[in-house]
Amino acid sequence: MKVVMLLSGGLDSSVLLWKLRAEGHDVRCLAVDYGQRHARELEAAEMVASIAGVPLLRFPMPSLRLLLRGSSQTDDAVAVPEGHYAEESMKQTVVPNRNLILLSLAAAHGLAEGCDAIGYAAHTGDHAIYPDCRPEFVHAAQIAFRLGNWGADGLQVLAPFLGWLKADIAALGAELRCPMHRTWSCYKGGTRHCGRCGTCVERREAFEMAHLKDPTIGGYICDDGPDLEGDCA
Amino acid sequence: MKVVMLLSGGLDSSVLLWKLRAEGHDVRCLAVDYGQRHARELEAAEMVASIAGVPLLRFPMPSLRLLLRGSSQTDDAVAVPEGHYAEESMKQTVVPNRNLILLSLAAAHGLAEGCDAIGYAAHTGDHAIYPDCRPEFVHAAQIAFRLGNWGADGLQVLAPFLGWLKADIAALGAELRCPMHRTWSCYKGGTRHCGRCGTCVERREAFEMAHLKDPTIGGYICDDGPDLEGDCA
């Protein structure tokens, strides 16, 4: 199949890229720059696509923050919460309707390029705080894409990780030799993973659960001991 | 209700704004600049919102054309087709997945602003060439917004014109004293309506069917006789 996939530069979408390639699909990637605090992700996306040898379109949409208020991902006035992903505080990291915007852009690009499917790396661990990572949402989005476009009756949203844990994704990444050390998860940006924000905690847990060595380059800042870099409050 | 509506600056959305205001809703508008050829529309949107006395957020997304190919609305290499809206050639004016992108942006803005509804001016005359103006699509989009966001269980897509003809919209606009002469429809841009592109033909027909004087400022270029301005091939 010809697939356009959302590549954030994080662990999940990078492993999805390796999975789709391994299955023989003709893959192209879309990375949306929506003014997120962790723009470091986008550099990771470019690196990962380049290693995979697949085209990446980096789509600038910095003005998205004009529309939004109150998400720590786009609003500098909101602090990035620390702790576990499933906690109430993590809802601050939710950008309203973000994934439908991103998927809609991917659908537009995919339809213009004659793709059969849109790749989306949402997984079980996201479900608690991101309703737009749940199967029922993915199904509804697929229906909207099909009904809203010509020649899209067979368009699929490929989201094979919907029932997976992040640990399963890390294990598959290791098996497929995905360059996971090149991926970026931390919501705080910077040059090394902070180790304390929701995605850092989730990433560490995933490798631990999969009994894998965490390949994060430079380790986590908060493992250095005293908070020398000011990133581990 | 608190409503965010997509205001293009065309006839339909401008009359929708007047209708929602007349019904007592607290309305704000979103105008998306997606690099469309008829940027003249956006100036009309600002004028119309200003006359209505409601806030308008102009959202720049000029890079949308990077994603797309083959629509006369965003690709300068594709000529704007002339003739009736229902003709096959008019499909060239379709931007893949456009309205779901626009509605998704409106949903994000609306959710951030605490709105209960998204206003959308799709009508019956659009159905033939724009599948994303049909009731089944609108329903699917509403489901996706509700499933994909916190606190959105009651979010509505208000699309009261879905079963209306454009002539009905023109008639309501006249009744509500909407400044329809300030609205802009022509896909070719310019300073006066060309009179021959799909939306010009549709606009003229609507006023004729409603037995109303067409308020287009300066009349249609193609009514001038010889094609002095080169816009009426």
- What CATH number does the domain containing B149 carry? 3.40.50.620
- Give the pLDDT score at A80: 62
Element (H, E) at B118: strand B117-119
Query: Looking at residue A119, what is its pLDDT?
Result: 98
The confidence score (pLDDT) of residue A89 equals 59
| A contact set with B (CB within 8 A) | 30, 57, 59-61, 63-64, 66-70, 91, 94-101, 104-105, 107-109, 111-113, 131-132, 134, 136-137, 140-141, 143-145, 147-150
- Nearest-Cα distance to chain B for A85, in Å, is 16
Q: What's the angle, vertex CA B159, arms to CA B26 and CA B216, rounded to 5?
A: 85
Task: Classify burial at B218, counting beta carbons within 10 Å of its beta carbon; exposed 0-12, middle 13-18, buried 19 or more.
Answer: exposed
Contacts of A145 in chain B (CB under 8 A): 97, 100
Mean pLDDT throughout B206-217? 93
State the total domains in chain A.
1
* DSSP 8-class letter at B162: T
From the list B60, B111, B144, the residue facing A140 with the nearest CB is: B144
Identify whether B232 is part of a domain.
no
B95/A101 CB distance under 8 A? no
Identify whether the C-beta of residue B21 lies closer than 8 Å to the C-beta of residue B49.
Answer: no
Asked if A144's CB is within 8 angstroms of B112's CB, the reply is no
The whole-angstrom distance between A77's CA and the closest CA on chain B is 15
List, for residues B142-172, the tens digit of each pLDDT value: 999 999 999 999 999 999 999 999 999 999 9
pLDDT at A233: 38
Three-state secondary-structure class, residue B33:
strand
| Averaged pLDDT, A187-191 | 81
Is A18 among the domain residues?
yes
Q: With beta carbons under 8 A apart, name residues in chain A contacting B145.
A: 97, 100
Q: Inter-chain contact B59–A68, Cβ cutoff 8 Å? A: no
In a domain, residue B151? The reply is yes
The answer to which of A89-98, B42-51, B109-118 has the lowest mean pLDDT is A89-98
Per-residue tokens: A42: 């986008």
Nearest to A61 among B63, B94, B140 (CB): B63
Distance of alpha carbon A98 from alpha carbon A137, whole angstroms = 12
Query: Contact A140/B136, CB-based, under 8 Å?
Result: no
Instruction: Check residue B229 and give its pLDDT.
Output: 47
What's residue B232's pLDDT?
44
What DSSP element (H or E) covers A157? strand A156-158
Integer Cα distance of B217 and B181 in angstroms: 6
Report if residue A55 sits inside a domain. yes
Mutation target to probe the B interface, by most B beta carbons within 10 A, among A32, A97, A126, A143 is: A97
A98 vs chain B: nearest CA distance in angstroms?
Answer: 7
- Using pLDDT thresholds of 50, 70 and 90, give the confidence band for residue A125: confident
Which chain A residues contact residue B136 at CB under 8 A? Answer: 147
* HSE, side-chain direction, 13 A CA sphere, residue A118: 30
Burial classification of residue B75, based on how many CB atoms lie within 10 Å of its CB (0-12 exposed, 13-18 middle, 19 or more buried) = middle
Asked if residues A230 and A221 have their Cβ atoms less than 8 Å apart, the reply is: no
Q: How long is chain A?
A: 233
Give ipTM to 2 decimals.
0.88
Whether B28 is covered by a domain: the verdict is yes
Q: Measure the CA–CA gap between A223 and A212, rounded to whole angstroms.
A: 18
A126-173, pLDDT tens digit by residue? 777 789 999 999 999 999 999 999 999 999 999 999 999 999 999 999
Average of per-residue pLDDT values in chain A: 87
Domain residues for the domain of A144 are 2-179
% chain B with pLDDT above 90: 61
Q: Is the pLDDT assigned to residue A229 strictly greater than 50?
A: no
What is the pLDDT, as a whole number, of residue A95? 78
Q: Would residue B233 count as lying in a domain?
A: no
User: Residue A65: inside a domain, yes or no?
Assistant: yes
Nearest CA in chain A to B97: A108
Would you state the pLDDT for residue B69? 65
Q: How far apart are CA B228 and CA B7, in angstroms?
A: 32
Q: Give the three-class secondary structure for B20.
A: helix
Chain A residues lying within 8 Å of B88, measured CB to CB? none
Residues of A in contact with B66 (CB under 8 A): 57, 59
Q: How far is CA A116 from CA A11, A27, A182, B70, B209, in A?
A: 24, 11, 28, 18, 42
Q: Is B217 exposed, middle or buried (0-12, 13-18, 19+ CB in 10 A)?
A: exposed
Helix residue ranges, H only, chain B: 11-22, 40-52, 64-67, 98-113, 135-148, 166-175, 198-209
Beta bridge partner(s), residue B32: B59
Q: Does A148 contact B68 at a Cβ distance shorter than 8 Å? A: no
pTM, full prediction: 0.89
Task: Tell me how far CA of residue B155 lies from CA of A145, A194, B3, B151, in angstroms.
Answer: 19, 37, 10, 8
Cβ atoms within 10 A of the Cβ of A18, count? 21
Looking from the CA of B24 toward its CB, the CA atoms found within 13 Å total 0
H/E element, B27:
strand B26-33
Q: What is the rounded distance in angstroms from the CA atom of residue A181 to the CA atom of residue A179?
A: 5
Contact B57 A68 (CB under 8 A): no
Distance from CA of B7 to the nearest CA of A (A): 15
Find the residue in A nearest to B65 (Cα).
Answer: A109
What HEC string does A29-66 produce?
Answer: EEEEECCCCCCHHHHHHHHHHHHHCCCEEEEECCCHHH
Q: Which residues of B touch A98 (CB under 8 A)?
A: 108
* B189, B9 Cβ separation under 8 angstroms: no
A64/B57 Cβ within 8 A:
no
- Contacting A with CB below 8 Å, chain B residues are 30, 57, 59-61, 63-64, 66-70, 91, 94-101, 104-105, 107-109, 111-113, 131-132, 134, 136-137, 140-141, 143-145, 147-150
Report how far apart the first and last C-alpha atoms of chain A are (Å, whole number).
46
- On whether the CB atoms of residues A160 and A19 are closer than 8 A, the answer is yes
User: For residue A44, what are its two tokens?
Assistant: 């990771």
CB contact under 8 A, B134 and A147: yes
The lowest-confidence range among A39-53, A141-155, B68-82 is: B68-82
Edge-to-edge order in the sheet of strand B117-119: B56-60, B26-33, B2-6, B117-119, B156-158
Query: How many angstroms separate the CA atoms of A199 and A183, rounded?
Result: 12
Whether A127 is covered by a domain: the verdict is yes
What are the beta bridge partners of residue B58? B31
Condensed to tens digits (0 to 9), the pLDDT of residues A89-124 reads 555 556 789 999 999 999 999 999 999 999 999 999
Give the separation between CA B127 and CA B145, rounded to whole angstroms. 22
